[in-house]
Amino acid sequence: MNTIWIYSLLSVALVSLISLIGAITISLSEKRVRGLIFALVALSVGALFGDVFIHILPELYEESTKPDSIAFYVLAGILLFFILEKFFHWHHSHPCEEPHCEEEHVKPVGNIILFSDALHNFIDGIIIGASYLISIPVGIATTIAVILHEIPQELGDFGVLLYSGYTKKKALFFNFLSASVAFLGVLIPLIFGGGDGLANIILPIAAGGFIYIAGSDLIPELHGRPGLRIAFTQFIFIVIGITLMFLLTFME
């Protein structure tokens, strides 16, 4: 195994471990964690919107010769996640027959955030592998940027999974499983020496998924908690999520 493979796989492993950042809440009581959930959900809204409109779409439009196709794939992503949520709603509408079945209490948004994040992590793997094919310093710089990018998003995703009904341990496990999809992504440029074409399709679809999740699922839930103080706190965390994504532009 050559040096590029070693660096690429180690980098993806490090990025995947960021998904376990929610483990910092393990020592907290369930009551305190539940108190943090809506702050993390608001943070996720800002991170998702910031990721789409500050990073993903500008980068795609800058490099694309067919901007219309990007808009088409973003819209396709929104429709895809609408269909996925309908499916998960149907799947969980059946009564649970097991005496201690927990899944009946899991909201569909938890499942679609995992699916969407898996697509995004798949793209991250492709980007990391392609960067190391350019040079090792470029690959390291890209890995650092991805890690900084993942920290606020993974915190937000963890909060969404807790909100949707997952226990802390299950949220950590499935979030890590979703992050591990990056290993599949990194193999594409390493084996085939490319992956840009696939990334240009999957990335806008993932962007559409992020827009759908933040706008259709998370923001309405934030509106469900009345009170001026709560609304102000949610607004601040949304702004923090957007700001963190903006600050990452200085590393690109």
pLDDT of residue 95: 41
pLDDT in tens, 168-181: 788 888 888 888 89
pLDDT of residue 75: 94
Summary mean pLDDT of the chain: 78
Q: Domain spans of the chain? A: 3-19+31-93+102-251
CB atoms within 10 A of CB 37: 18
pLDDT of residue 128: 82
Question: Which long-range contacts does 193-202 make (Cβ < 8 Å, 24+ apart)?
Answer: 193/133, 194/130, 195/126, 195/129, 195/130, 196/130, 198/126, 199/123, 199/126, 199/127, 200/60, 200/63, 200/64, 200/70, 201/73, 202/119, 202/122, 202/123
> Which DSSP letter does residue 195 get?
-
pLDDT of residue 89: 62
**CA 15 – CA 213 distance, rounded (Å):** 23
**Low-confidence residues of the chain: pLDDT under 50:** 91-104
Contact predicate 199/188, CB 8 Å: no
pLDDT of residue 238: 92
pLDDT of residue 96: 43
Q: Which two tokens stand for residue 117?
A: 């994040």
